[in-house]
Amino acid sequence: MAHPWWVNLLIAVPLISYFFWQREPISITRAHLLVAAVFAASFGVVEGAVVVYLRAVLGVTAGYGASLSVVARFLEKHNRTLLEPVLPVSLLKVEVFREAATILMLVSVALLAASNRQGRWAMFLWAFAIWDITYYAILWATIRWPSSLTDTDVLFLIPVVWISPVWFPLLVSMLSVAAVLLSRRPIFHRTTTPGNDLTLRVVA
C-alpha cells in the first residue's frame, strides 16, 4: 500500500464526498465539467512531458534508468531515503514548488467553475482526477511506464515523500470521477409562457 500510512486514507475522500453529495447534490453544468476536463487533461499531458524529460536526465546522470520504480527498488535495497541520491537539493526545492503550483492551478479552476463551497470541492476532485489519469496515460504512451499497475511511483513530496503502487492513485481518481458524475443534478432554468405559466427547462 501507500507510504506514509495516512496516504492510504485518501481512498475515503471520494467515498465520503459522495455520501455528503447524496444529501445535497452538486449543481455543475455539463459545460463546466467539459471545460475543466479539457484543462485538466491538457495539464496532465504537460505534467507527463515534464516527468519524461526529468526521468531521462536522471537516468543519464544517476544511472538508474527511466523508471522511478527502479529508483525505489534500488533505495529500498540499500536502505536509503527516496530521491536523496537522485535529485540535488536545489532541484528538489524546484520540484516542491512545481507541485505546489500544480495544486494551486487546480484550485483556481475549481474556484472559477463553481459558485459555492460544495461545487468547488467537486470541481477540484474532478480536475485533479482527470489530470492524474491523463498524467499516467501520457507516461505509458511515451515511455511505456508504468509497465504494471503495481509499479511504485512517487506521488508527492509535500510535506513528505508519498510513495504507492500506481494502481492506488488511479483508483482514487476513478472513484472521484464517478462520485462527481453520480452526484451531479440537472440545472433548471425558470421560464414563463405567454399565459404566465411557469415552466422549468433543463439547461445542463
Cα–Cα distance for residue pair 123/139, rounded to 1 Å: 24
Q: Quote the pTM value.
A: 0.78
C-alpha cell at 49: 512531458
* 146 pLDDT higher than 80: yes
The strand pairing partners of 3, in sequence order, are 163
Interacting residues of 161 by C-beta distance below 8 A, sequence separation 6+ = 81, 82, 83, 154
Q: What distance, in Å, lies between the first and last C-alpha atoms of the chain?
A: 39
pLDDT in tens, 65-121: 444 455 445 545 544 444 444 566 667 788 888 889 999 999 999 998 887 888 899
Q: What is the pLDDT of residues 152-179, one digit of tens each?
A: 888 888 888 899 999 999 999 999 999 9
